Amino acid sequence: MFRWGILSTANIGITQVLPAIAASETGVVQGIASRDAARARAVADRFNAPLSFGSYEELLASDQIDGVYIPLPTSQHIEWSLKAAEAGKHVLCEKPIALKAEEIDRLIAARDRHQVVISEAFMVYYHPQWAKVRELISSGQIGRLRMVQGCFTYFNNDPANMRNQVALGGGALPDIGVYPTVATRMVTGQEPQEIFARIERDPDFGTDRYATVLARFADFDLSFYVATQLSGRQQMVFHGDQGMITVHAPFNAGKYDHARVTWHDSSHTASQEWTFSNINQYSLQADAFVRFARGEKEVLFSLENSKANQHVIDRIYAAAEKQ
């Protein structure tokens, strides 16, 4: 079994990723690291992990760890991904893996130099509902795709939360704006040619709390908004001249809605729905990562893909500054 080490006791790790690893087919939670040794031990006990460490460096130095999951604040992702790679550990790092596309070049170089796997934790990449959307579009079920619409919002105005701290990489676009962009790129295989955007920043936090974006691709447009201070909503719609696809819980299936994909024909006289029950996209991600690290045939979200997606986010910020 692949022996996972976890750098930090961040909430997403405890509530989502660690339970998923524990339930995966390929790996075990081997060790937890925290700057608070007592907290590391408590979380390790919770997940039956034999090892706990009072520093991240200690975990990286352990020969009983094969790879690490990094849920640290965004501003620390590059630093600790590089340190883990230098220690010979495979790396699964929370999104966004960087705050600028150019920063990912350092990770690509480290990956190749140390012969380790480094991947950004886009769990949606492994959810079968997106394979269904891709299949429907490519097979012509909605005809010519003309418009993609998306949204992802939640309400969080806690000043102590990292999502509301510029220095830690907070903001709507880094946290959730990456999802409509990656999903659209994922199912169409295209990159935006032109981008327009408007961003509203919180007057106290300085983070982008609302962003509305129009991205023009070669064959279609993408329009989406994201916000950290609106009531919760997420949805993606792919609209063609012969039909339409709705993804009802595109990013957090089970929290915002059931994992289901609906197709309607152009006249709304025919429809079909696919539901995806008992799917844990975090476990699918962990298993795909381990299989890829073992050299098995597996498709993994690559750093090159990460760079391309972050480039879109960089362009959104640049477009908003022109307004």
**Dist. CA 81–CA 6, nearest whole Å:** 12
Q: What is the pTM of this model?
A: 0.95
Q: Determine contact, residues 18/45, Cβ cutoff 8 Å.
A: no
Question: Looking at residue 58, what is its pLDDT?
Answer: 97
Residue type, 144: R
Question: Looking at residue 257, what is its pLDDT?
Answer: 78
**Dist. CA 45–CA 43, nearest whole Å:** 5
Question: Looking at residue 159, what is its pLDDT?
Answer: 97
Q: What are the residue ranges of CATH 3.30.360.10 in the chain?
A: 128-278
Which CATH architecture is the domain 128-278 placed in? 2-Layer Sandwich (3.30)
Strand partners, 224: 150, 213
Q: Determine contact, residues 35/57, Cβ cutoff 8 Å.
A: no
Fold of domain 2-121: Rossmann fold (3.40.50)
**Dist. CA 250–CA 37, nearest whole Å:** 37
Question: Looking at residue 114, what is its pLDDT?
Answer: 98
Q: Find the catalytic residue in 95, 255, 307, 322.
A: 95
Q: Determine contact, residues 234/246, Cβ cutoff 8 Å.
A: no
End-to-end CA distance of the chain: 52
Q: Which residues of the chain have pLDDT under 50?
A: none
Question: Looking at residue 43, what is its pLDDT?
Answer: 94
Question: Looking at residue 38, what is its pLDDT?
Answer: 95
Question: Looking at residue 9, what is its pLDDT?
Answer: 84
Q: What are the residue ranges of CATH 3.40.50.720 in the chain?
A: 2-121
Q: Is 95 a catalytic residue?
A: yes
Cβ-in-10-Å burial (0-12, 13-18, 19+) of 278 comes to exposed
Question: CB neighbours (10 Å) of residue 239?
Answer: 19
Instruction: Give pLDDT tens digits for 166-217.
Output: 999 999 999 999 999 999 999 999 999 999 999 999 999 999 999 999 999 9
Extended beta strands in 10-80, E state = 27-33, 51-53, 67-70
**Dist. CA 36–CA 198, nearest whole Å:** 41
SS3 108: helix
**Dist. CA 17–CA 19, nearest whole Å:** 6
Q: Determine contact, residues 259/276, Cβ cutoff 8 Å.
A: yes
